[in-house]
Amino acid sequence: MTSTKQVTLLKVHKPKSALETTSIALLRSNIIDAFEAMRWSLEELSTALLQESNLMAWITDSNELFNFPQHYSNREKIIQILSQYEYLSTQAPREIIVCAGFVGASQETLNIVTNLNAQKDEFKRSILALKKIKPLIQDDLLTQAFDHILSHKRDLTTANNLQKMGLSRLHLKQCYRKIPILAQAPLKISWTWANTRSIKRISVLEAEKLLRKKNTADQGIVLQLEKLASLSTNEYLAIVQDLAPHLRANLVMEPSYPKERIMVKGPIPLFFPATVNQPWPEFKPPKAKTSKDKARVIRNDVRLDPIPFLPAIRAHRYQNLA
């Protein structure tokens, strides 16, 4: 699979000193080493998954970004999903690949997954460390290094013949996200789309600082600053942000498990221990993704005024329900 779509390039930064130059060079090296380690762990996992073809595995075919070849086994599809670290040509800049599924695995394979997750953490730390010093991503030296790494063919089972793309082609969220591992096989699995929102409590002073970062010459911002000035400094506001629908896996576990019913993030296949001829869990595939129902009746215990008090920063007032 090839990727040709361009994503936003970040600024080139000229080091200010020899010390900074040395530091940046070391951080670049850490990123390359961490990505290589993550890539080799993934290759090891791919080999292990194919070797355990006698164990259970399932993945949904309802992902519109992928068109799996008809001859692909479930495990080959799972390898392709887990291997997709770069943007697809059909993928929007903020879009993330979601594909429900599950994999029964030996303890040796689960150990490989654990190690891969640790490598993902290390890669994320190395990227964030460089971002503290300079903005990525049109870093010419990193681009050259990733051109070299990613221009080679991966395992043919992944059907990914990559073009040169450099670091700018990587989908960092897909690189960072960990593969979920369960301590035991669930009895039942069902996937649901969750439509949630983020609520951050801030003080009046914090709200003022956020507003002043906007264009204070704008009449709308001036009016909102005046509204804010009318509040007591002891009052708190809530910044509300609707989150994109995300997939959750609802699990029913054996009664001996610490919790019989649990919920975990489920955008990629879940892994759990399994043996040959072990019964499959009952499972219910996710329905088509739907947006939040804006006409849904607001619960009586909601404490936020539904109308934003400061629209520029999506800040709402808390309601007095007494």
Model-level pTM greater than 0.75? no
Q: Which residue type occupies 237?
A: L
Of 12-26, 121-135, 187-201, least confident by mean pLDDT is: 12-26
* Non-local CB neighbours of 241 within 8 Å, separated by 6+ positions: 197, 198, 314
Extract the tokens encoding 280: 């499959």
Cis peptide before 137 (omega within 30 of 0): yes
Give the integer Cα–Cα distance in Å for 49 and 193.
Answer: 28
Q: Which domains does the chain have, with CATH numbers?
A: 18-184+268-274 (3.50.14)
8 Å CB contact between 207 and 313: yes
Instruction: Write out pLDDT tens, residues 43-91.
Output: 999 999 999 999 999 999 766 677 788 889 999 999 999 999 888 888 8
Identify the pLDDT of residue 132.
76
Find the mean pLDDT for residues 228-241.
92
Mean pLDDT over each residue of the chain, to the nearest integer: 81
- Residues pairing with 208 in the sheet: none
Tally Cβ neighbours within 10 Å of residue 173: 13
Percent of the chain at pLDDT > 90 equals: 47
Lowest mean pLDDT: which of 27-36, 67-76, 136-145, 269-278?
A: 136-145
pLDDT band at 273 (very low <50, low <70, confident <90, very high): very high
The pLDDT > 70 percentage for the chain reads 77
Strand partners, 304: 318
How far is 182 from 271, CA to CA, in rounded Å? Answer: 6
Neighbours of 195 (CB within 10 A): 15
Of the candidates 89, 1, 102, 95, the residue with the CA atom closest to the CA atom of residue 60 = 102
pLDDT of residue 42: 95
Q: Hey, what amino acid is at 97?
A: I
Range in 140-149, 209-218, 295-304 the model is least confident about: 295-304
pLDDT > 70? residue 245: yes
pLDDT of residue 147: 62
- Beta carbons of 123 and 171 less than 8 angstroms apart: no
Confidence of residue 291 (pLDDT cuts 50, 70, 90): low
